[in-house]
Amino acid sequence: MFYAKIPMFHVEHRVTMRILTILFITIGLFGCNKPNPNPELADEIYQDLTSQAGEVKKEAENEKKKLEGFKKDIEKAVPQTGEIKHAQKRYFESELKVQKLEQLAKYFELKAADRMRYTKAEYLKAFKAGKSWPTEEELAAYRQYKLSARVDGGWDSRRRVKAYEKDRGIASEGPNGVEKVRKGEKKTRI
């Protein structure tokens, strides 16, 4: 307490100093309104892309370890027994998988870097306009995109129709125009 050594410093002055100190702290905390220098750290989409890149890198590292084991299997294979062809097949398949995983990791890294640039630009626009960012619509669209990317469409139309009906709770027709029966329901004619 620097003011304790000042001569003629009375109790009334201490109260005034405390009030002024609290006032300055309050103004300092609530008076500043600056934009976030790293808005990408608050962006759910950016965080998801960086986590996906990390997961794929780990998976690629695990596959590289398997690749080394397959290389040792090729060296240990007995000639003219067919073992070497099987070992070479596993080795080349694993090598191809490593290449694909490394490409996917690079894709997610580039996508995250692109998202970071986009985030900074859009955040500044929203900050200047006084709006919140990221918008709920954008996040909902990304979540929907992730869900649709997980679903394997494939080429089999029957499987796609069944998956569509299952997702939406629709009962499909079986042969002879009879609706398929679910547990606890009655058969109906159409």
In terms of pLDDT, which residue wins out, 49 or 149? 49
Query: What is the three-state SS of the chain?
Result: CHHHHCCCCCHHHHHHHHHHHHHHHHHHHHCCCCCCCCHHHHCHHHHHHHHHHHHHHHHHHHHHHHHHHHHHHHHHCCCCCCHHHHHHHHHHHHHHHHHHHHHHHHHHHHHHHHHHHHHHHHHHHHHHHCCCCCCHHHHHHHHHHHHHHHCCCCCCHHHHHHHHHHHHCCCCECHHHEECCCCCCCCCEC
Q: What is the mean pLDDT of residues 136-155?
A: 81
Q: What is the mean pLDDT of residues 156-161?
A: 82
- Predicted pLDDT at 151: 63
Report the alpha-carbon distance of residue 89 to residue 138 in Å, rounded.
44
Write down the pTM of the prediction: 0.63
Q: What is the mean pLDDT of residues 102-131?
A: 94
The yes-or-no verdict on residue 98 having pLDDT over 70 is yes
Summarised one tens digit per residue, pLDDT across range 34-84 is 888 888 888 999 999 999 999 999 999 999 999 999 999 888 888 888 888
**Burial class of 46 by CB neighbour count within 10 A (0 to 12, 13 to 18, 19+):** buried
